[in-house]
Structure 1
Amino acid sequence: MTIKTKSLSSALLNKIQTKKATIGVIGLGYVGLPFAVEIVQRGFHVLGFDKNQEKIALLQNGESYIADISKEKIQQLLAHHQFEATYDFSKLSFVDVVIICVPTPTTVDGTPNISYIEDAANDIGQYIKANALVILESTTYPGTTEEIVQPILQKHGFVIGQDLFLAYSPERVDPGNSNFSVSNTPKVVGGVTSACLEVSKAFYETVIHTNVCTVTSPKVAEMEKLLENTFRQINIALVNELSQICYKMNIDIWEVIDAASTKPYGFMPFTPGPGVGGHCIPVDPKYLLWAGQQHGISASLIEAADKINDSMPNFVVERLEHYLRTQNIKLSQAKIVVIGVTYKPDINDSRESPALRVIQQLLDSQCALQIIDPFIQTFPIEQSLFNTVPLTEEIIQNADAVLILTNHSKIDYSLIDQQASLIFDTRNTHFLFKNKNYYKL
């Protein structure tokens, strides 16, 4: 590290550690907004950037669109002038540290779409001042930070590790998790150079209350995140496949999982469900598949897990159809109440939710549907928008079956137990159902 580089990094470190640095967060979604709020609560001034003007307008008016962040919290930050939401990216010129938290979807064929990252890097390169820190947090394939972001910033005249510092640190946000948040979940960070690593590690140590694990390169940190979610995808696929086998063998998969969980080592319980959802588990392994293909490696285990999880919505509908037949009711003539649209309980995020695929199959079967979800008012199915309805005794009484796809805590399960003709519970809801026609996945 040259004397000039050391001087620049020391000056930035001092601004961070004395909390005089202005922090920018690009992408105010389920990752960026909670992190921006956390940084403000650590005593920093934060500028939040997003190109979605509707989101910016809501935040500027003290509203929140994320269940984990209350509107009261947004209003408090605005009142103290600690947080500003904007779509004016020229304000990046006021920022000392910028965190990229933009979406990283895949195309229909599974190819990574990193256009949002490229756009963010170009905006940063155009407006950021020298002696700033840039950290990419969006989940992506190994090599993105150094092969995509770094050249874009260099194109704007910066020398990485000298007058601009660049690192990768994967987000670990788990919406709806009350035990682990941004503040107490350990961070992993890899810098392009030793100076980049030093500055980025100091930043995270200042804004969170837990360990910061450093790795030797951004590629290691990028791969680490893919391992996390692919690990989950494969284990969920295993237990989903076992649930299908257990059904054919008349074995309760949930009892099997409970029994296996008594082993104090070598086993980690995963649970079956109607599929996998959210932006991480259905999407991130595809980045790893694609990366493997670029190096001539076929990740057959990941592909198999993907197929198993994708088969679960169809398995759920087939099971429901079977249970209805025991009541002499055809699926095409049935009145079905679906509980839950979101991909996990107690959040308002329906991205990639397996419930959407189950609902689509039920609509295709021509049955009558009513959808109940206390966290979602409308949701899209293909090109149409559907409305949810409140849970009432009359709705449950008139239904031929209640299908539980998401186990929200705000549902009156005792009412369902008492009034439903038939219950098919894909989530082993933690309620002691006594209904004689109660079935678990």
Structure 2
Amino acid sequence: MSTPPYALPLQQSERLQIIDSLRGIALCGILLMNIPYFGMPWMWDFDLRLRNEFSGPNYYTWWIVRLFFEGTMRGFFSMLFGAGCILLLERLEKRPPGDISPADIYYRRLLWLLVFGFIDANLFLWNGDVLLVYALGGLVLYPFRHAKPRLLLIVAIAALAIGTFKGTTQLYEQKNKRVKGEAALALEKQKVTLTEKQKKEKEAWEEYKKEHTPAELSKKAKEEIKAFRGGFTSVLKHIFPRNAEFQKMSVYGFFFWDLMVCFFLGMYLYRTGVLTGAKPPSFYWKLMLAGYAIGLPLNYWQLSSALRLNFDNTHLADTMYISWYEIRRVLLLMGHLGLLMLLYKYGAAKWFFRIMAAVGQMAFTNYLMQSIICGFIFYGVGLRWYGALERYQLYVITAGVWVFQVIASNIWLKYFRFGPFEWVWRSLTYWRKQPFKRNTPVIER
């Protein structure tokens, strides 16, 4: 039996097409949620008042995207990242030993992923990059590679509980800012001398109200547009502090647990055969119906509350006693998974799963290419369309990027083993130049 002189990356024959297809679908879905942050100030996406988007195509676009997809596509991608970690380690541990251990390969991949996250955020100018926190979160997964499905599910549920607790804490922090600030203002009107603590509470509330008025938010939006339509240094100077804050929140805050839920859920669903189509159709029907029947009403309630309260988060805790974000996101994610797996099980849209598998095999390249393409379209380094399009028009751009990536991925993989960024990532991981073209033989001895 021949033995490779060194460990090799996952080969085409070892891939699971359904996993690749789901990853490709999730990758495209991520752009649905990211495109507003590429193409317009975040205030416009958050608050419909700023452009009076309470009717017409912008309003309905906001509802469709938020109701059906908000948070779920990132969750899908995270879930498949967790499953992919197990898949990679299973294959590596079954191979004859090379000069690099599976653990070494695994951690090298994650450390290089961290480097690519820094590049995506600061060279490709994407201030919503998740690669860095994926790399850090992935470090946690290795000790669980052989864990029983029950333990994986318990950890996922625990992460869900912690994430929900942290989200709920944020809700009440916002509410307390309002309640304490208004109480201090009421005392001041009654000519009561405020304590130092009450003065700070009053000032914090007044500052919050000022920063969240439509006029102030619109002013900040204009500053955003000016910065993003500038050159490379203008954009980088504007987003660098935001990147630092986002990464800090990702590692220490709510977002870390947001990822852990889906990482471990993905590992559990892979171990139990849910992601590979091993369950009967009846299982996926139940998964879809339960996910949509509970998740959609919860999400509708949350979105309608935001509209009713004029996007004032300080009032959300008055009607929502806990944060339902993580719970409803997982439920909708299960609904989407059930639907897709039913299409797969019944053999519907085979062509769709086939072409999306190529997108999934090149998910790393396609994720980074979304940053490069959208940066060129919207920022001052390219066409300078930032803030120039209506909300619904951004999704025309999204569809164009999808078509390009689907076609390009399928053509590329006819001639090459990996996407270009996958090839660089693997070559760095193994510290050897990897075979790139399909007609290049894999050397064994």
Same fold, judged at TM 0.5 (above): no
- Please classify the TM superposition score into its range, dividing by the shorter chain length: under 0.3
- TM-score normalised to structure 2 length: 0.21
| Bigger proportion of residues as strand | 1
More RCO (CA 8 Å, sep 6+): 2
- TM-score normalised to structure 1 length: 0.21
| Bigger proportion of residues as helix | 2
